[in-house]
A and B are shown apart, each in its own frame.
Chain A
Amino acid sequence: MQAFTKIHGLVAPLDRSNVDTDAIIPKQFLKSVRRTGFGPNLFDSWRYLDVGEPEQDCSRRPLREEFVLNLPRYQGAQILLARENFGCGSSREHAVWALYEYGFRCVIAPSYGDIFFSNAGKNGLLAITLSVQQVEHLFSEVEANEGYRLKVDLPSQTITAPSGEELTFDIGAALKERLLQGQDDIGITLEQGDLIREYERQRAAQRPWLFPDLN
């Protein structure tokens, strides 16, 4: 998983509460045996006019023009501003994969579905919780200012607005560490990379037939 330290990203506002993971990625796309490829189907039923099928070429599908992610001003957004209980419902991790693959690296909302929140942390997606008032304020700023970007800094736990205004956010220490390190099992193991290499070096000397590529 990718580490998260800081981003300076365009913000897209999704002005609905209780956005469930079915809405984030509808069930027909879970048939996929892949962990990627969900990006084009993120918010599929809101984003397109037709009913999406797995493995379809989404570039030719009719778009629902008014959906926020289809508006030209939000193209390339990395921060999703959302309402209460974002990511409620089904536990599908596909929802996080879809958001991440679409390009989101951070979600800001007053609250989250528990499982979604936990899934996000396992995939390098920073889910920031702010107060209802703070989120409301951000919504009005984003909508009023085209090209509105926020600086999100995980080490200092701060969000900086274009005006220079700074907000702080809370995050559990363990999750913060994980995200900062980009820790997953593979990431943790790779921290032992020198040890693995040394093991290979020694063993290649002792058992050369097992390491034809290293000798």
Chain B
Amino acid sequence: MTWGRCVNIAPIVLKNPVTENTLSVTLGSMKAKTLYDKLWDEHVVRDYGNGTCLLYIDRHLVHEVTSPQAFEGLKLAGRTPWRRAASLAVPDHNVPTHNRHSIQDPVSKKQLDALDRNAREWRIPYIELSDERQGIVHVIGPEQGACLPGMTIVCGDSHTTTNGALAALAMGIGTSEVEHVLATQTLVAPKLKNMRIHVANTLAPGITAKDLVLHIIGRVGTAGGAGCAIEFTGDGVSALSMEGRMTLCNMAIEAGARSGLVAVDEKTIEYVRGRPFAPAGSDWDRAVAVWRSLRSDPGALFDHSIEIDAGRVQPCVTWGTSPEMVASVHDKVPDPADEPDPVKREGMSNALSYMDLRPGTPIRDIRPDRIFIGSCTNSRIEDLREAARVVAGKRRAQNVRQALVVPGSGLVKRQAEAEGLDRIFLDAGFEWREPGCSMCLGMNDDRLDAGERCASTSNRNFEGRQGAGGRTHLVSPAMAAAAGITGHFIDVRDII
């Protein structure tokens, strides 16, 4: 069963039309609301009055790693999915990025087979491995128009926050909750706090959304958004492409937030238009009218507010084992001795020892062994274009053992190939792979060896994340490409 057959996207004849007036009544009181408040209120099925609500879930993305137990649970309890068409399953975490039709690792194979079986058995809309649309779950959701403004979107994966770029309430959930959503199409959830990160001014040319989000995390810390939905506002955000906004929301989780959000504007609407799952015809007009209200009302109250000056954001490189351990490429590795907080000092020392870095080393002197351009943070077409622009006509540096480029989906791959980006990468000695999570977490065989250093466009630089003993430096695609060419970190603006 393919998803195309499961989901009827033909124009819908309304049985029970209601006016937008009725809608605004259902949407609640006249009090100024944040975008998050609006999304939340619209999805409350029942307020339990004990701090939790029963929240309706419009879209449930499913991948192979966190779903098998949930499907098993469903089966064991004799239940069936509440609303099949609300789900969309795709394999991504375990998939090989080359020779993908003979999967060597039996454990990975098993997990992939499990998803295949579950999707078919339960008739869940499913993009299988051999389907060109296959890719990283958070890339294909928006790409297919399966994730739309105003939706609640969940997935057994923390980076579900990516989809908040579409002004959707998107949250990662655990496996028990996956089962709960499969079975009931709802979640029992507490309301989050509202946090606003206002990005004044715009990024300098050559500076990307990835640099912005790393800069933000460096500023607010990895727990700065704990218990919050973060709405990113301001000119610096409006100026970003949809891909850039996805990069921003993707890493909201790395700032500790459960959800990241960007309000709807013309870019959002244009991005969604014409996508396979997007509404069409008169539905489209109605949808757009509703979507335009998906922004915080003037005067809406936020529990926390932070202001960032986009004009000051430099190309960022992480030097430690937490995304908040980040510096400008022009900086030096910090000295723990300068840190007054003893807990932080200890953390810094441990990180530097794991990363094998000495305080005071210029970031530019750090030499990666491998380059990884990919992951749900930075594997969309715009990311690949930025990297290709840096690489074009150049060669991979000798000290760089491998430079992997892994598109986020089969459709991104096709588009990139149509633009000749694959040739640019291959000519420069970079590898061009099939879509998947790949070296972001090394569940397949794309992994760092112990002690290896990687310039990676992914989102987590935790110890061992990309392979046991591997050392990760998080950067933008352009910065990763630049390091691949020069053999060390460098301000990408210096070489293009």
Contact pick for A199, options B56, B72, B85, CB 8 Å: B56
From known contacts A33-B68, A199-B45, infer whether A205 and B188 are also in contact, taking CB-CB under 8 Å.
Answer: no
Is A210 close to B, CB under 8 A?
yes
Using Cβ atoms and an 8 Å threshold, which residues of chain B touch A36?
72, 75-76
Q: Which residue of A lies closest to B10 (CB)?
A: A212
Is B79 close to A, CB under 8 A?
yes
Is A67 close to B, CB under 8 A?
no
Contact pick for B283, options A33, A35, A208, CB 8 Å: A208
Contact (Cβ within 8 A) A215 B69? no
Contact flags B74-88 to A (C-beta < 8 A → 1, else 0) = 011111001111100
From known contacts A36-B72, A189-B180, infer whether A210 and B26 are also in contact, taking CB-CB under 8 Å.
Answer: no
Contact flags A25-56 to B (C-beta < 8 A → 1, else 0) = 00000000111110000000000000000010
Contact (Cβ within 8 A) B12 A34? no
Using Cβ atoms and an 8 Å threshold, which residues of chain A touch B16?
205
- Selecting from A68-76, A83-91, A161-169, A190-198, the interface stretch reads A190-198
- Selecting from B17-25, B318-326, B332-340, B415-423, the interface stretch reads B17-25
Q: How far is the CB of B261 from chain A (nearest CB, A)?
A: 18
Q: How far is the CB of B122 from chain A (nearest CB, A)?
A: 14
Contact (Cβ within 8 A) A213 B83? yes
Contact flags B130-156 to A (C-beta < 8 A → 1, else 0) = 000000000000000000101100000
Contact flags A164-206 to B (C-beta < 8 A → 1, else 0) = 0000000000000000000011100110110110011011011
Is A160 close to B, CB under 8 A?
no
From known contacts A2-B78, A195-B46, A209-B287, infer whether A35 and B72 are also in contact, taking CB-CB under 8 Å.
Answer: yes
Contact pick for A209, options B12, B17, B83, B86, CB 8 Å: B12
A37 to B56, CA, bound (A): 32
A212 to B77, CA, bound (A): 28
Which of B12, B84, B151: most chain A Cβ within 10 A? Answer: B12
Contact (Cβ within 8 A) A212 B85? yes
Interface size on B, residues (CB 8 A): 54
Q: Which residue of B lies closest to A212 (CB)?
A: B8
Q: How far is the CB of B72 from chain A (nearest CB, A)?
A: 5
From known contacts A189-B186, A215-B12, A215-B13, infer whether A205 and B180 are also in contact, taking CB-CB under 8 Å.
Answer: no
Contact (Cβ within 8 A) A33 B111? yes
Q: Which residue of B lies closest to A54 (CB)?
A: B107
Q: Which residue of B lies closest to A215 (CB)?
A: B12
Is B290 close to A, CB under 8 A?
yes
A200 to B86, CA, bound (A): 12
A145 to B135, CA, bound (A): 61
Considering only residues 72-131 of chain A, those with a C-beta below 8 Å from chain B are: 101
Is B183 close to A, CB under 8 A?
yes
Q: How far is the CB of B177 from chain A (nearest CB, A)?
A: 9
Using Cβ atoms and an 8 Å threshold, which residues of chain B touch A8?
none
Q: How far is the CB of A207 from chain B (nearest CB, A)?
A: 7
Contact (Cβ within 8 A) A210 B183? no
Contact pick for A196, options B26, B56, B150, CB 8 Å: B56
Using Cβ atoms and an 8 Å threshold, which residues of chain A touch B7?
212-213
Is B15 close to A, CB under 8 A?
yes
From known contacts A186-B77, A205-B17, A213-B85, infer whether A192 and B45 are also in contact, taking CB-CB under 8 Å.
Answer: yes
Is A63 close to B, CB under 8 A?
no
Using Cβ atoms and an 8 Å threshold, which residues of chain B touch A101?
76
From known contacts A212-B12, A215-B13, infer whether A206 and B72 are also in contact, taking CB-CB under 8 Å.
Answer: no
Is A14 close to B, CB under 8 A?
no
Contact (Cβ within 8 A) B54 A192? yes
Contact flags B325-347 to A (C-beta < 8 A → 1, else 0) = 00000000000000000000000
Q: Which residue of A lies closest to B187 (CB)?
A: A189
Using Cβ atoms and an 8 Å threshold, which residues of chain A touch B179?
186
Contact (Cβ within 8 A) B79 A186? yes
Is A23 close to B, CB under 8 A?
no
Is A1 close to B, CB under 8 A?
yes
Q: How far is the CB of A186 from chain B (nearest CB, A)?
A: 5
Is B312 close to A, CB under 8 A?
no
Using Cβ atoms and an 8 Å threshold, which residues of chain B touch A212?
7-10, 12, 85
Considering only residues 134-159 of chain A, those with a C-beta below 8 Å from chain B are: none
Contact pick for B183, options A33, A186, A200, A203, CB 8 Å: A186
Contact (Cβ within 8 A) B184 A205? no
Contact flags B364-408 to A (C-beta < 8 A → 1, else 0) = 000000000000000000000000000000000000000000000
Q: How far is the CB of A203 from chain B (nearest CB, A)?
A: 7
Considering only residues 98-117 of chain B, those with a C-beta below 8 Å from chain A are: 110-111
A184 to B8, CA, bound (A): 33
Contact (Cβ within 8 A) B72 A205? no
Contact pick for B76, options A35, A185, A202, CB 8 Å: A35
A62 to B489, CA, bound (A): 60
Is B349 close to A, CB under 8 A?
no
Contact (Cβ within 8 A) A185 B72? no
Is B286 close to A, CB under 8 A?
yes
Contact (Cβ within 8 A) A209 B286? yes
Contact (Cβ within 8 A) A210 B12? no
Contact (Cβ within 8 A) A209 B180? no
Using Cβ atoms and an 8 Å threshold, which residues of chain B touch A210?
58, 148, 150-151
Using Cβ atoms and an 8 Å threshold, which residues of chain A touch B13?
215
Is B73 close to A, CB under 8 A?
yes
Contact (Cβ within 8 A) B184 A190? yes
Using Cβ atoms and an 8 Å threshold, which residues of chain B touch A55?
110
A185 to B82, CA, bound (A): 15
Using Cβ atoms and an 8 Å threshold, which residues of chain B touch A37?
72
A193 to B68, CA, bound (A): 24
Interchain Cβ contacts under 8 Å between A and B, 14 examples: A35-B72, A36-B76, A101-B76, A186-B79, A186-B179, A200-B56, A200-B185, A208-B14, A209-B283, A210-B148, A210-B150, A210-B151, A213-B7, A215-B14
A residues adjacent to B (C-beta < 8 A): 1-2, 33-37, 55, 101, 184-186, 189-190, 192-193, 195-196, 199-200, 202-203, 205-210, 212-215
